[in-house]
Amino acid sequence: MGNSTNGLKKLLDDQLKLHNQKGFIEKDPISIPHRFAIKQDIEIAGFFAAIFAWGNRTTIINKCNELMLLMDHSPYQFITQHRELDLKRFLDFKHRTFNATDLLHFIRVLRHHYENDSSAEPTLERAFSKGLNRKDETVENALMSFHDYFFSLEDSPGRTKKHISTPANNSSCKRLNMFLRWMVRKDNAGVDFGIWKNIQPHQLVCPLDVHVQRVARSLNLIQSEKADWKTAVELTNNLKQLDAADPVKYDIALFSMGVGIRY
């Protein structure tokens, strides 16, 4: 890294302390899962909030609100107990290129997953940790396995594949990495949930959105101008020089610096 490691660490630690706090939640898509207390509601609401997270944050939150309303503000109960007739309410749903076909597949896969999880506490985490080995340095294998699993049901729509990215296509997997950050990271600030235990914080990869990418390049944390998996891993590896156990905590700092958040 071009910057002094100590100086860079102080800068990012200061920014993290400033932004990794309850005030960050309200205007961020992470506010959607924060409305729930049940683990399965949190992970379902968080999954959709992350998948919808491209474009204007206000629009993203509004679309999440619309979806939660359609699910009667009980996403887990709706996913697992809905009848075929209940699905008609989603036929006009749309967020950018995400449409009713995509949404109905998501609902179908989630229901299939929870119904086939025979453990005492069904969780979406098992869908993400199927392909993960404890010795894996990153969640690369986990995300590739999740992609295959998500489209393993018969008649999975091809168009929906663009909404579940995979490192196999050299995608940065920004939205999925952000979702994993929410579910896996745990500290005392109360922003991230830390409700998943099979994936370790040091295995996470930093979400590479346009704001993070711009700031990271200005700080010489990345060299490439491409927003791909290789660059996301490069950024994460450099952040591990600042905190090997929890590198992705700095996502909050980099993102907030990029969008100029003020409290």
User: What gap in Å lies between CA 206 and CA 183, rounded to an integer?
Assistant: 14
- The DSSP 8-state label assigned to residue 167 in this structure reads G
Q: How confident is the prediction for the chain on average, in pLDDT?
A: 96
What are the tens digits of pLDDT across the range 243-259? 999 999 999 999 999 98
Rounded Cα distance between 246 and 187, Å, is 10
Q: Please check the confidence at residue 1 and state whether its pLDDT lies above 70.
A: no
Residue 94 has pLDDT above 80, yes or no: yes
**pLDDT tens for each residue of 177-188:** 999 999 999 999
SS3 percent helix, strand, coil of the chain, rounded to 5, is: 60, 0, 40
Residue 51 scores a pLDDT above 90: yes
| Three-state secondary-structure class, residue 71 | coil
| pLDDT tens digit sequence for 233-244 | 999 999 999 999
User: Residue 2 has what pLDDT?
Assistant: 47
Express each pLDDT in 204-233 by its tens digit: 999 999 999 999 999 999 999 999 999 999
How much is the CA Rg of the chain, to the nearest whole Å? 18
Tell me, what's the pLDDT at 3? 47
Cβ atoms of 127 and 119 within 8 Å: the answer is: no
pLDDT at 4 over 80: no
Beta bridge partners of 209: none
The torsion region of residue 185 among left (phi > 0), alpha (psi -120 to 50) and beta comes to beta
More confident residue, 5 or 59: 59
| Side chain identity, residue 124 | L
Q: What is the pLDDT of residues 106-130, one digit of tens each?
A: 999 999 999 999 888 999 999 999 9
CA pair distance 47, 180, nearest whole angstrom: 9
Please check whether residue 207 is in contact with residue 175, taking contact to mean a CB–CB distance below 8 angstroms: yes
Backbone angles phi, psi at 98, to 5 degrees: -90, 115
Q: Residue 263: its pLDDT value, please?
A: 55
Average pLDDT in the 55-78 region?
A: 97
Q: Is the pLDDT of residue 150 over 50?
A: yes
Q: How far apart are CA 68 and CA 179, in angstroms?
A: 17
End-to-end CA distance of the chain: 30
pLDDT exceeds cutoff 60 at 80: yes
Cβ-proximal residues to 207 (8 Å cutoff; 6+ apart), any chain: 172, 174, 175, 177, 178, 181, 232, 248, 251, 255
Mean pLDDT of the region 77-104: 98
Q: Residues 6 or more apart from 89 whose CB is under 8 A from it?
A: 70
